[in-house]
Chain A
Amino acid sequence: MTCATPLPCRPADFRSDVKPIWCPGCGDYHVLMAFTRAFAEIGVPPERMAVVSGIGCSSRIPAYTRCYGFHGVHGRGLAVAAGLKLARPDLTVVAASGDGDGYSIGGNHFLHACRRNVDFTYIVMDNHIYGMTKGQPSPTTEPDFDTALAPGGTGLRPFHPLVVALASGANFVARTFSGNIGETASIIAEAIRHPGFSFVEILSPCVTFRPDQKGWKDMVRPAPVKATDDPARAARRLMTDDGFVLGVLYRGNRRPYQPLEASRAGDLRTVEGDFEL
């Protein structure tokens, strides 16, 4: 699984031979390209990286990379990623999800992953819909978006993932747009480098069930101000945000979570000792 060329690795070194089966036009193709560019940029070889996911279109991404991968249980990618990072702190761990998997089924894991602040990166490809299971409204679907299951819309206030992440303790909060591939790759790389739990929301259009999202490329715009390390200021900005402001919004300084007995982790004699009755 090492690079095909002498180090540093190229983006192509992180792509598997599996052909993606997303719909043509899906924003996740750009996210995959950004993933491999970001991975090449941070200079960690594929055998030192792990991509973990839950279930859904976006969660297919581990199969399309040549890193270690774990295509997990619906909504539970974060639990696997946190466990993996704590057990193998030498690995660079990236968890991937969609808005349904990450904010609905996995919503509780999201809160506590932010709170724990384990040192890994969480990428959510948000298309405001369940794509794989055929167009049901997700937690980020607009209240008036008409679907067969919710005629006239759900009438529910959409979940605001960035505010939730910030309030729950995420140490890095950013939003980007899949079509801005250069920016997306840079932000993913920065999120990986930033210590603690980094959360990146990527607006990634679903052209099949949300063809209206083709218009996102004209709606997104760069954040008018630089990222802050002040959570109160970041929260004020986010509360007035319309969901299309891009860039790094918050870079925190919280110390990443370390298990209290980290020094014992991996010490087989200690583990054996613990088994003594």
Chain B
Amino acid sequence: MTEDAPQPATLADLYAIAYQIEADAVELYQLLADQMEIHNRPELATLFRDLERAEGLHRDDIARRAADPELEARARRVARWRITGSPEGADLASVHYQMSAHEALTLALAGEQRALQFFERLKSTGTDPEIRRFAAELAEEEAEHVALCRRLLQRYPAPDADTDLHDPDPPIQQE
């Protein structure tokens, strides 16, 4: 467990952390979809909306299983990464309006892999058997998401090296 990551003391805390990871991912993909809409990349906007929807389903599923009326409040209290954002957050600096679907999915894959790593660590370091058991379950779910991203990446392979990456609207400094 990194120093930055939250450490659940109870099973309810772990539900809250899992919920917040997915909620943060929803926020991120919504932001990315909005960016791509603004910059006239409808196909990428759709891709990010689909990812947003998938993360939203996972978030809602966790909320249903938690059956905790205090889940959101607990999540805000407990699920705090001191320095960085939660694992499914992305390095937004790597986003470009010309990014390909492959790059977008690679970004999503990296987030899923970080979440998988987080739950894998918790599975082996959790202080309570219930926490370790649920962390294992969450790790399995994240592993499925990783596999899904990999399958999608095959569907949207990296552009060929000779693909024209000419930027039709390059930034021009004032002269």
**98-126 of chain B: CB within 8 A of chain A:** 99
Q: Does A180 contact B (CB under 8 A)?
A: yes
Q: Determine the main DSSP class of A at the interface with B.
A: loop
Q: Measured between alpha carbons, how far is A205 from B96 in the docked complex, in Å? A: 13
Q: Measured between alpha carbons, how far is A26 from B31 in the docked complex, in Å? A: 12
What residues of chain A lie closer than 8 Å to B93, measured between beta carbons? 25, 27, 179, 205, 207, 213-214, 217
Q: Does B165 contact A (CB under 8 A)?
A: no
Assess whether B97 is in contact with A8, with CB atoms less than 8 Å apart. no
What residues of chain B lie closer than 8 Å to A148, measured between beta carbons? 173-175
Q: Does A1 contact B (CB under 8 A)?
A: no
CB distance from B49 to the nearest CB of A (A): 13
Q: Does B141 contact A (CB under 8 A)?
A: no
Assess whether A183 is in contact with B82, with CB atoms less than 8 Å apart. yes
Given contacts A25-B96, A29-B31, A186-B82, contact A135 B174 (CB under 8 A): yes
Assess whether A182 is in contact with B83, with CB atoms less than 8 Å apart. yes
Most buried by B among A24, A41, A217: A24
Q: Measured between alpha carbons, how far is A41 from B80 in the docked complex, in Å? A: 11
Q: Does B85 contact A (CB under 8 A)?
A: yes
What residues of chain A lie closer than 8 Å to B73, measured between beta carbons? 8
Q: Does B81 contact A (CB under 8 A)?
A: yes
CB distance from A104 to the nearest CB of B (A): 15
Query: Would you give the 0/1 interface string for A9-32, flagging 1 where the beta carbon is closer than 8 Å to chain B?
Result: 011100000011111111101100
Assess whether B83 is in contact with A24, with CB atoms less than 8 Å apart. no
Q: Does B128 contact A (CB under 8 A)?
A: no
Q: Measured between alpha carbons, how far is A62 from B172 in the docked complex, in Å? A: 27
**153-206 of chain A: CB within 8 A of chain B:** 179-183, 186, 205
CB distance from A165 to the nearest CB of B (A): 23
Interface residues on A, range: 35 or more
Smallest CB gap from B170: residue in A: A208
Smallest CB gap from B4: residue in A: A182
Given contacts A10-B72, A10-B76, A182-B84, contact A209 B92 (CB under 8 A): no
CB distance from A38 to the nearest CB of B (A): 12
What residues of chain A lie closer than 8 Å to B35, measured between beta carbons? 19-20, 22, 24, 29
Q: Does B171 contact A (CB under 8 A)?
A: yes
Assess whether B84 is in contact with A209, with CB atoms less than 8 Å apart. no
CB distance from B2 to the nearest CB of A (A): 12
In the complex, which of the residues B31, B91, B171, B172 contacts A33, with contact meaning CB atoms closer than 8 Å? B31
**23-49 of chain A: CB within 8 A of chain B:** 23-27, 29-30, 33, 40-41
Given contacts A19-B37, A25-B94, A207-B96, contact A135 B31 (CB under 8 A): no
What residues of chain A lie closer than 8 Å to B95, measured between beta carbons? 24-25
What residues of chain A lie closer than 8 Å to B34, measured between beta carbons? 19-20
Q: Measured between alpha carbons, how far is A276 from B95 in the docked complex, in Å? A: 62
Query: Would you give the 0/1 interface string for A210-225, flagging 1 where the beta carbon is closer than 8 Å to chain B?
Result: 0001100100001000
Q: Measured between alpha carbons, how far is A183 from B82 in the docked complex, in Å? A: 6
Residue ranges of A at the interface with B (Cβ–Cβ < 8 Å):
5, 8, 10-12, 19-27, 29-30, 33, 40-41, 133-136, 147-149, 179-183, 186, 205, 207-209, 213-214, 217, 222
Residue ranges of B at the interface with A (Cβ–Cβ < 8 Å):
4, 27, 31-32, 34-39, 72-73, 76, 80-85, 89, 91-97, 99, 171-175
The 9 closest A-B pairs by CB, nearest first: A135-B173, A181-B85, A19-B34, A148-B173, A182-B81, A134-B174, A148-B175, A24-B95, A208-B171
Enumerate 28 A-B pairs (CB-CB under 8 Å) in ascending A order: A8-B73, A8-B76, A12-B27, A20-B35, A22-B35, A24-B36, A24-B39, A25-B96, A27-B92, A29-B35, A30-B92, A33-B27, A33-B31, A33-B85, A134-B172, A134-B173, A134-B174, A136-B173, A148-B174, A179-B84, A179-B93, A180-B84, A181-B89, A182-B80, A186-B82, A205-B93, A207-B96, A209-B171
